Structure formats: C-alpha cells, structure tokens
Structure 1
Amino acid sequence: MTEPSGRAGSPESGPVLVSPKEVRRIANAAFVGTALEWYDYYLFGTAAAIVFNRLFFSDLDPTAAVLASLATFGVGFAARPIGAFFFGVLGDRIGRRPTLIITIILIGTATGLIGLLPTFADVGLLAPVFLVILRLLQGLAVGGEWGGATTIAIEHAPVKQRARYAALVQVGSPVGTLLSSGAFALVLLFPSETFDAWAWRLPFLAAFPMLIVALWIRVKVEESPIFEELLREDQRAKVPALQVFTKAGGRLVVAIMAAFLGVGGFYVMNTFVVSYVTNNLGGDRQVVVNATLIAAVAQIVVILIFGRLAEKIGPGRVTFWGGIATAAAAWPLFLLIDTNQAWAITLAVAGGIALLTITYAVTGALLTELFPPQLRYSGVSLGYNIAGALSGFLPFIATWMISATGTTASWPAVVILALVALITAFGGLIGERLRVQDKEIVQTVTTPTR
C-alpha cells in the first residue's frame, strides 16, 4: 500500500494563489450543494424506516415490509460506486465545476419526483419499481457529488488549511440531517391518516425549490486552479477511475477503510436505530427523529473542532482515535437504546453519532491527500462511495440478524458498529503513514541541492 502518490512535479507542487475571500466562497458553495445532497439522501433513509414499508410494500407482512424498505434504501448505496466511477472520470477530465452542476441537478430532481410517486394502493408493483429507480438515480448522483465538492474546496485552499475547508464541506451532512429530520418532525405532527395520505410527500417536494437555490450558488463557483493547471500542462489521466485501481489500488483500500465508519456507522446509529426502536421496541418514532436532530447539532460542533485539530496532528491520527473511541462505546450505546426510554435513546443517538463524527470530520482531508490531482476526483469519490456501498446494507443486515435469531436484543448492531469502527481506525493509521511519506517525497524532490 505504498504506491507513489504522484504529487512530486505535479501542479500541486507550487503555490495555489487564491484570495482567502475566494477560498471561503468556494467552500461555502461546496457546503450548500453538499447540504442539499445529504438532505435528499437522508430523507429517503428516514422515510424508509417509518413510511415506505407501509405505503410501497403493503402486500408484505410487517417484518418483510421493513426489510424490503431497508433494502430499497441500500440500493442507493450500491449505485454510488458506479456514480463515483462515471462522475470521477468527468471530474478529472472535463472539470470539477461542470460535473458538480450535473450531480446537483440529478439528485435534486430525483428526490423531488419521489414526492410525486403513486403508492402501492394506486398502481401496485409499479410503485416500488419507480421508488427503486429514483433511489438508483440518487445513488448515482451522490457517487459524484461529495468527492467533487471536497476536491474543489481543498484545491482552492492553502495546503496547511485544507483540513478546515474540507471539514466545512462535511458540515453539509449534519445540516442535511437537520433539514431532513426537521422536515419529517414537522409533518409527523399531522394525524397519522393525513401523514400517510399526503403529508409525507412535502419534504420530498421541498427538494425542487432547494435545488434552484443550490444551483444558483454553485454556477458562480470558479474551476479549481489545480485542474486548470492540469489542463495547461496536459497532465490529465485518460481514464482516471481505472487508473485509481491500477496505479493506486492500495491507497483506494486505505480510503475505503478510513471512510467506512463515517458512512456506515452513521446509518447504524440513524436509519437502523429509527427502524429498531419503532418496529422492534415499539417506541415512539418522534423520539428517535428528535434525537437525530440533537445529534446533528452535536455533529456540527465535532466537525469544526476536529477539522482544526487535524491541521495540528494529522487527519489519520484523528481517524484512528475516533475509531477506537466508537468501538469502545458501541455496547454501552445500545444498552441505553434497549431501555426504550426517551432520554436514553436521545443520549445514545446523539453520543454515538458525535463519536463516529470524529472520523467523518477529517475524511475529506485524509482522502484528498491520498491521491494526486490527476486521479483525485475519481480516487476520493470511489473510496468514499465504495465504503458507502459496503455500509448501505448494514441496517438491513442488523435487522435481518435480529429477525433470524429471534432475539429482541440489539447485539448484532453492537458487533457491526464495533467492527466498522476498528476497520476505520486501522485505515486512519495507515493513511497517516502514507501522508507523512508523501510529504517527505515532495520535500526531497522540490528542495534544491547545493
């Protein structure tokens, strides 16, 4: 796993002259687009746990309907590596900016159309088919969105301040959670009959006006100066996504490991817990949705703190210790959830998501430093989204294990969360070693001999 990064002699070896004001504007634009992206994506996760099982899979028994709904949720993750490959090629060939505009239009449109879908009662089996198709489109778009937003943000930033700007992009995730959970918290105030009849559609339909705002902000973004230098020097890779596998395969594995907890752990503590408390413990779904709102606020604080800390000690070290802390806390967290007490569930969800967010805060900073500019959009997108594909079915697997064993305990989720956390800790350890090695190579090549 020690392939050369390709940085020495690349356009990144020299200074990137962008004003601080412009850097902040680019980072804010990346953040806004990412917030819409995760609003759309998380919205589906919440709906899969509390509404799709009843409206789109109503011909199945309750347990099978929940499993089918969560499997549909996981389908979007399976599509993400395909989107990462396709949009990674576009981002590394035609540019970061136009690719990001395409992805934001695709995900916003797909989400809005979900709000217009007929249910199983209206069109039968066509309803879940349409739902799966739109979920696939969401997954394809997300596959190219996050990697591109992170890449364009750090490529405008000074090298020593990249972690803070990469962290600002990550804030889009909890903001998206706040918006999506907040939207569902509001529509859940309607009577159950009204909610099932039409109110559940409102959060999805809101994606249309949000898309217009995000698009208006994103079209003003300038292309990455590093990519423009690649164009001038004709250093673009022919098929960058393929070259990630052939020339940086070890680094891709490290990227997947390092991103695993930030993606997979979140869906265990969010989507799975919402489904588990509602369907297995018979708890109040409003309590869990409210808990995710509190967790999202905690995430923002954690991301900003550890994004700055990564500039001092390195994102790989932050990833390592965040993974270890989450693994150690997995069992106590689910002991609290199993009490089915509102305060305990809230504490566990907020605390668990805050812990795993330590690694998520620095994922962008770590992954972007693993790949050279020629392969960066593709490498970052593939690493993050392959991790997403592997973790997208974790809520389904945990639910299936509980159902198959006939237990009401949450030990399958404990095992899954702890294992994912340890994998990410190991990825952070290796990733930091590669970062240090790359810096030493660049210093050796660029330091003039006397």
Structure 2
Amino acid sequence: MPTAPTPHRPERPESAEGPDTVADPALLRKVALSSLLGTVIEYYDFLLYGTMAAIAFGRLFFPASDPAVGTIAAFGTLAAGYVARPVGGALFGHFGDRLGRKSMLVLTMVLMGAASFLIGVLPTYGTIGIAAPVLLVLFRVVQGIAIGGEWAGATLMVVEHADARRRGLWSGVMQMGSPLGFLLSTLAVTATALLPPDQFLAWGWRIPFLFSALLLGIGLYVRISITESPLFQQAARSRGSDTAATRIPLAQVLSEPGTLVRACAVGIGPFALTALISTFMLTYATSIGYTTADVMTGLLFTAVTGLVGIPLFSALSDRVGRRAVMLGGAVGIMLLAVPVYALVDSKSTALLILGMVLGQVVQSAMYAPLGPLLSEMFGTRVRYTGASLGYQLAALTGGGFTPLLAGSLLSASGGVSSTPLVAVAVLCGLVTALAVWRTAETRGRDLADDSDPARTAGPWRGHHGTQGGAARKGAAR
C-alpha cells in the first residue's frame, strides 16, 4: 500500500510505484542480489586485470622493455580501461535513461565477461608479437566501457526500488560487490600464484580470466529475472507529454556542469586510495623487500575490511547524512597517510597488513555513501547518465592515473621514500573533502523530484538550506 505524502513534500498522486512506497521485501532482496552479483562479476574481471598488470603482464606482453618500463607499460593498459569508463558511462547512461536500466545491465555484463574470457585465451608477445599488447589494450578498453555502464545501473536499480529511509543500507549491499569482486580476484590470483613461476607465466595466469565465463552465466541467470526500476517506468510514462524529456540526457547533465564536477570530485579520494593500497601496493611493497605473498595476504585483509566497512558506513549515512560520513573518511586519510606508510615502510608483514587495513577503513568511509549520494544528485530522466559520468570520471582521475603518477614520482625520488605516495594520498583526500563541503546534503531526497538539489549547494546547505533541510525532514523516522 502506498503511503501518504509527508507535509514536507509537494502533493502528488499516490502510486504503487512511488519512491516513498516501502518496497516488497522479496522483490527488493532479489534486486539487491542481482546488483550485488553483477557488481561482483564486473569488479572481479576489472580488478583481476590490475593485479595481473602488476605481477605478470609486463613480462608477458612487453618483454622488449626493461622491467621498470614494462611495469609502466602494463599500468598504461590499466589506465586505458579507466579512460574508457567515462565513455561507457555516457553511452550506457544515455540508453539507460532512454530505454531502461535493466537491458543496459544485461549488456554490460555480457561485454565484461566476453572481454575477460578473450584476455584469458590471448596469445602473448612471444607468440604473435606486437598484436598481443594491441589486443590486450583493446579488450581492456571493452572492459572499461562495460564497467562504465555497470555501476550506475546497478546502483539505480537498488535505490530506485528502495524506500528513502534505507537507500544507503541497500546500496551498501550492492557496493559490497566491489570488495567481494576484489576478494574473489585476489583469491584466484593467490591460488594460481602457488604454481611454479614458469608454469604461472606459461598458463596459470589464464585460469582466473577463464573462470569469469562461469561467473557470467550465473550473473545473467539472476539479472534477466529482475524487474525494471519503478521510477524509470513512471518517468517513461510521463515522457510523451514533456517536451524537455526529449533532450539528450548528456546535454542536460552538461547544462549544469557544477553538479557534474562535484559528483566527480567527491569520488577522487576513495578511488586514488584504492589504487594506492591495492594495485600500486604490489609494486611498491615488493620493491622495498616484501614478497608478493606478503602483499597478497594484506590485500585479502583489506577486502574483508571493505566487506564490513562498506555496509556499515552506508547504513550510517542513512542516519547522519552522506556528507558527514564522507568528510570523516577524507579527513581520516589526510591524518593517517603518514602513519599508514610508516607501517608499510617498517618491513614487518604484520605492520604492512595493519597499514593497509587502516587505509581501507577510511577508503570505505569515503566510498560507501557514493552510491546514494550520486543517485540523489540527479533527476530520474538523467540519473543514469549523471551518476555514471560523475563516478567514472572520478575513477579515471583518482584511480586510472594514480598508479602512473605514483610510479613516476617514486622513480623520480629514487624509489627509496614513500613521501611522494603520502603526498598523493593527502592531496586526493583534500579534493574529496572540499567537494563534499561544497555539496548539499541529499539524504532522503524525493527521487521523483527532478529538480537539482546540488544547484543550491554551499557549506552546510544540506543541513540548513531549503532543499537539503526538506530532504532531512522527509527522511525523518
């Protein structure tokens, strides 16, 4: 049964599909499971590449280079995937806003699974020469395009089915797919890395990529059975009588560039920190004396930390607001960057793991509220496009180029000091803190309202401003 509109929101006709309706629990669980599985598969495939780029691809696909240049070249293909992510965000965002969330999510999953499988059967440089790295980059770009459309679609399917008071909690369930995918990819690499080095480089590295075909089949089975977002269906029914709705979603998002810039900037910190404590940590820690097994153990602990931290911080954002949780994480990394790298530089495996876990805690605080925050910053008719572009531009800026920047700065400093890595972490945390400070609180916003709450953003506007204040009242229990 639909609930009556609260006194703090404009009156509108009641609908069984309205945003204030408490979703059918069974349906919501099914949608959340579908989004979780899809995100696990997408991030398993995408992050698996990052790990392999750090430990194998330099020798397999760029053997003509010296080891340092080979590593940079391998991370260059990693960056290519991140460059493609905003392209995928714009492409799938457009059709997701025009045709629906569900069909785009099925397509992104197929693209990601196919690209990963093809990487698993790709001949190396020693077999087909220059065609090997060219095809590797091509498949990486396809991965980037696919994941560019995946995250926002999976997030929207959850938040547009959930009621306003628990969007953070349910999006946290979906966003557990990132650490779960990372955990799964790390376990797959760890298992294959137990092979003798010559066998791992000959064929063992392919097994985790080929395993993605099985995950794809499971994910598609669940995803095809879910229902379309009720808010999208509602918007689609009203589109015919609204001439503004015929505009290209990307054009509408770009017409308010400040909102998109803030949506990008709030995500730079968590993505940069992910790159520093996961992808690049393999390179840095092994260069100062740790074994690959030491770092992989640390990565397993960070994945488990994310599994706990993300749903907790997501649920907390329903209670205290998205801004407070994200600001806490951003300030946390600025304060903890020096201690974290002091622990890493200690040459103690236990302290290395502790440092990585501390980094993951503050990363989770910044990352967990991103799903509901970006979804609430855009109206239904452009939400897929806006949330996708904001998230993927943050991934490109914060995650795609951080390993390259960190590697270059570390090399320039002689590779013996973690000071450049500390500076990168602090700078990216500062960017996120300033962006969150300038963004209005969106918790509890009526998602059927296509007005832009971020247009009136200012310091603490979310607590005392008209739109942010109404959102909080609307979310009151």
The TM-score normalised by the length of structure 2 is 0.88
Match of 1:129 in 2: 134
Q: Contact (CA 8 Å) 2:19, 2:162: kept in 1 or not? A: no
Which of 165, 188, 200 is the aligned partner of 2:170? 165
**Alignment map for 1:40-439 (pairs within 5 Å):** 40-234=45-239, 236-246=245-255, 248-278=256-286, 280-391=287-398, 392-433=400-441, 434=454, 435=462, 437-439=466-468
Q: Contact (CA 8 Å) 2:18, 2:231: kept in 1 or not? A: no
Amino acid at match of 2:206: R
For residues 326-366 of structure 1, the C-alpha deviation after alignment (integer angstroms, 9 at most, x for no partner) is 11111111111122321121111122112211111111011
Cα distance, 1:14–1:344 mapped onto 2, change above 3 Å: closer
Cα distance, 1:340–1:240 mapped onto 2, change above 3 Å: same
Gaps of at least 5 residues in structure 1 are: 1-6, 446-450
State the alpha-carbon separation in 2 of the partners of residues 158 and 49 from structure 1.
42
- Offset, 1:404: 2.1
More helix by share: 1
- Percent pairwise identity: 35
State the alpha-carbon separation in 1 of the partners of residues 298 and 61 from structure 2.
26
State the alpha-carbon separation in 2 of the partners of residues 406 and 9 from structure 1.
64
Q: Contact (CA 8 Å) 2:35, 2:174: kept in 1 or not? A: yes
- Offset, 1:154: 0.2
- Offset, 1:237: 4.8
State the alpha-carbon separation in 2 of the partners of residues 171 and 349 from structure 1.
18
Amino acid at match of 2:100: G
SS state of the match for residue 221, structure 1? Answer: coil
Higher mean Cα deviation, 395-404 or 178-187?
395-404
State the alpha-carbon separation in 2 of the partners of residues 119 and 14 from structure 1.
51
Moved over 6 A (4+): 7-13, 441-445
For residues 61-98 of structure 1, the C-alpha deviation after alignment (integer angstroms, 9 at most, x for no partner) is 11101111111111100110111000000110000000
RMSD of Structure 2 on Structure 1 (CA): 2.0
Gaps of at least 5 residues in structure 2 are: 1-8, 442-453, 455-461
- Offset, 1:286: 1.2
The aligned length equals 437
Amino acid at match of 1:319: M
For residues 283-339 of structure 1, the C-alpha deviation after alignment (integer angstroms, 9 at most, x for no partner) is 201111111111111111111211111111101110011110111111111111122
State the alpha-carbon separation in 2 of the partners of residues 442 and 299 from structure 1.
28
* Relative contact order, higher structure (CA 8 A, sep 6+): 1
State the alpha-carbon separation in 2 of the partners of residues 108 and 290 from structure 1.
26
SS state of the match for residue 266, structure 2? Answer: helix
SS state of the match for residue 377, structure 2? Answer: coil
- Offset, 1:8: 6.9
- Offset, 1:427: 2.0
State the alpha-carbon separation in 2 of the partners of residues 8 and 237 from structure 1.
25
- Offset, 1:260: 1.3
State the alpha-carbon separation in 2 of the partners of residues 322 and 274 from structure 1.
23
- Offset, 1:17: 5.6
- Offset, 1:441: 6.2
Match of 2:446 in 1: none
State the alpha-carbon separation in 2 of the partners of residues 110 and 438 from structure 1.
43
SS state of the match for residue 47, structure 2? Answer: helix
- Offset, 1:250: 1.1
Amino acid at match of 1:298: T
SS state of the match for residue 198, structure 1? Answer: helix
For residues 398-428 of structure 1, the C-alpha deviation after alignment (integer angstroms, 9 at most, x for no partner) is 1111112324111111111111111112222
